[in-house]
Amino acid sequence: MQNAECLFCRIIRREVPGEFVYEDNEVLAFKDIYPLAPVHLLVVPRIHIQSLNEAAPEHEKLLGQMLLVAKRLAAEFGVAETGYRLVTNMGSDGGQVVGHLHFHLLGGKALGTKIG
């Protein structure tokens, strides 16, 4: 199920443009429009889940699929060997801007050890 107002749901439905790099029946990935690294991809589920806090036991397979897609994309975009960061933000204090579960895959440069 999708949310009519959610930006990522609108991107998934192709109502808002996105530069897609991966797609299957459960997961979609596209380039971030404000990249923080040379490789900055967003890995999102097709169904609307607000954040990891709202994930339920029935989403276990989907969450695993998202992680495996991120791993695959890291290899395809040439950052698996040198290293990359996979991040999800939850809530306003956690830096979540779009209320749809997503993983940021960041790489292509030395990211350092600090997160904030």
Give catalytic residues, as residue numbers. 102
Q: Is residue 114 part of a domain?
A: no
The predicted-structure confidence for 73-98, as pLDDT tens digits, reads as follows 999 999 999 999 999 999 999 999 99
Which residue, 63, 17, 72, 71, is CA-closest to 44? 63
Length of the chain: 116
H or E segment to which residue 12 belongs: helix 7-12
Distance of alpha carbon 60 from alpha carbon 17, whole angstroms: 29
Domain encompassing residue 77: 7-107
Domain of 97: which CATH number? Answer: 3.30.428.10
Q: What is the pLDDT of residue 3?
A: 77
- With 80 as the cut, is the pLDDT of residue 58 above it? yes
- With 70 as the cut, is the pLDDT of residue 12 above it? yes
Please provide residue 49's backbone torsions phi and psi, each rounded to the nearest 5 degrees.
-125, 125
Sign of CA dihedral 38, 25, 86, 15: positive
Q: Is residue 11 part of a domain?
A: yes
Which residue, 42, 35, 23, 57, is CA-closest to 101? 42
H or E segment to which residue 39 belongs: strand 39-45
Q: Is residue 1 part of a domain?
A: no
Q: Is residue 112 part of a domain?
A: no
Q: How many domains does the chain have?
A: 1
The predicted-structure confidence for 39-51, as pLDDT tens digits, reads as follows 999 999 999 999 9
Q: Return the higher-pLDDT residue of 113 and 80.
A: 80
Q: Is residue 116 part of a domain?
A: no
